[in-house]
Amino acid sequence: MYKLVLFIFCVFVVSHGIAQPDGFTRVADTSYISQKVNEVASKTNSINTEFIQEKNLAFLDEKIISKGILLYKKPDMLRLEYTCPYNYLLILNEGKLLIKSEDSEIKVNLESSRMFNEINDLIINSIQGKILNMPDLSTVFYENSDSFFIQLWPEQEELKKYIKTIELFISKKDYTVTDFRVIELSDDYTLIKFVNKKINEEIPDERFNTQ
């Protein structure tokens, strides 16, 4: 069951000595970045955004491209709906997880395990940008004229079995996450780009029904 929830995180979704990314410079004083991201997150009650997901697997020559819609509503409601090239639905709400495809449906109670709760927090905090405040992640910050590029390494032993690095791009325009990448131990990775983002639009609670 651990692998199931971690798989969900990775589809939604290097070492400490990694070279500095091209076009970015290292940020020494990072406190103002976290402060600004936290200010924006505190004022963000909902997110409605389209996404484009790229899955890179070593044994495939081409990336797997998927598209869909992500809905988020405070405090912890998340709906990830894939619409292309297939229909697939993930809903997180109040410690419950619903996974639904065209021919199957799975329901999981995340509250039954500390590990599940950590994964749940990791997903929600990544969407909000509050992942920067999580104590079990080491971080390095870079910037260019348009964005902050942040690399995070999990310190929690269970996560380290599956995830090598998490990478975030945060826009300097509005301090929200624009790109999100999870790199697995195999160096396969999942990249999600958020487009046409709408902040604080009304989203009915019914969209997050896990029953």
Q: Would you list the domain boundaries of the chain? A: 2-13+27-208
Six-digit token string for 166: 């998490």
User: What does the pLDDT read at residue 14?
Assistant: 35
pLDDT digits (tens, 9 = 90+) for 73-103: 988 888 989 999 989 998 988 888 888 988 8
Read off φ and ψ for residue 93, nearest 5 degrees. Answer: -160, 120
pLDDT digits (tens, 9 = 90+) for 46-77: 999 999 999 888 888 889 999 999 999 988 88
**How many Cβ atoms sit within 10 Å of the Cβ of residue 87?**
12
Domain range 2-13+27-208, its CATH number among 1.10.3720.10, 3.30.450.40, 3.20.10.10, 2.50.20.10? 2.50.20.10
What are the residue ranges in the chain where pLDDT is below 50?
1-8, 10-18
